[in-house]
Amino acid sequence: MCVKVKSIQHKGLRQFYEDTSKLPAAHIIRIRNILTRLEFAQSLDDIGTPGSRLHPLSGNLKGFYAGNVSGNWRIIFRFEDGHVYDVNYLDYH
């Protein structure tokens, strides 16, 4: 697991660096780009890029941010004190 990312919920994401077969092939490049930004981010500004549609969540996911992967699929995470926590890959719509 990367230094900045402290916890990952989705099993496929945890294994991502070793084996990408647990994730849809069409999403691999986008997931890799998002995880790389999370790994090196010093602030939320480092994570959000054009097209990522980074946004804060509300309701049960208040405190989380989401980045677009494809369609309804998102990578969500919490960002606190320069670290990333509880990274997950899901369709929350």
Amino acid at 27: H
Q: What is the pLDDT of residues 14-71, one digit of tens each?
A: 777 666 777 788 988 888 888 888 888 888 888 877 777 899 999 999 999 999 998 8
pLDDT the model gives residue 4: 66
| Partners of residue 65 on adjacent β-strands | 56, 77
Cβ–Cβ < 8 Å for 75, 53: no
pLDDT the model gives residue 62: 96
Domain ranges across the chain = 4-91
pLDDT the model gives residue 61: 93
Beta strands in the chain (DSSP E): 55-56, 65-70, 73-80, 83-91
pLDDT the model gives residue 1: 43
Q: Which CATH superfamily is domain 4-91 in?
A: RelE-like (3.30.2310.20)
Report the C-alpha gap between 8 and 46 in whole angstroms: 19
pTM of the predicted structure, to 2 decimals: 0.79
Place of tokens 């994401």: 13
